Amino acid sequence: MKNAIVLWSVLLLLWIAGSAYVYVCKVRKACDSEVAGELANDKLLAGDSSAAGSDAVAGEGLENVEELGAGAVPVAGETALPVAEEMAAPGVHKLYFDFNKGVSVISNEDRAYFNSLNEYLTEFSDKRVSVVGHSDNKGPEWAKEKYGELRAQFVKGKLIEAGVASEAIDAYGESDRKPAADNSSEEGQAKNRRTEISIK
């Protein structure tokens, strides 16, 4: 009985350690030396000398701050580092719709995407947003065209509510011409009743 308890305890500890490692290093990517260095640099720039170990180390290399120029950050022991990489463009985002509906429920994930899109477009004003409404193959052609367009215009309105400039949005319907899935099943048809948002 004691051997079983010891064995289960060891397995539990290994599982906890493995889970912590995966979460910290793989999910949050906080094990990289660059990330650890950035955290220390942030503390140094905020005036927290404990990140470097002593006041002498914290001030080292900072006397040339005026010479650094734009695009550089002072770091202990070095004269400059480049500022963070260019902001990555948000990927393609899809919203799904019920049959014969031109509106959909906007989730928190959708709102977060809209906000990140707005931030990106504020930074890169030369970029545009493409909003394409799609339908499944049910019904007459005029209805498929209508719902593709309604879905695109619905999402365009939500993007404008999130702060995206209307002149930066190209919204149009594609009817059922570009299916994402096979229209022979209800599941495939549900995947085709969508709006796709992307950066151009």
pLDDT at 29: 64
CA–CA separation, 61 and 77 (whole Å): 5
Comparing 145 with 88, the larger pLDDT belongs to: 145
Determine the average pLDDT of the residues in 186-190: 93
| Among 69-73, 151-155, 192-196, the least confident range | 69-73
Q: For residue 180, is pLDDT > 70? A: yes
Residue extents of the structural domains in the chain? 2-82, 93-199
Comparing 65-74, 143-152, 160-169, the range with the smallest average pLDDT is 65-74
To which H or E segment does residue 78 belong?
strand 78-82
Q: How many CA atoms lie within 13 A of 127 on its CB side?
A: 18
**pTM (two decimals):** 0.56
For residues 193 and 135, the answer to whether their CB atoms sit within 8 Å is: yes
Query: Would you list the DSSP string of 138-196?
Result: -S-HHHHHHHHHHHHHHHHHHHHHTT--GGGEEEEE-TTSS-SS-TTSHHHHHHHSEEE
Say whether domain 93-199 belongs to CATH 3.30.1330.60.
yes
Token pair belonging to 185: 């099943």
pLDDT at 84 over 50: no
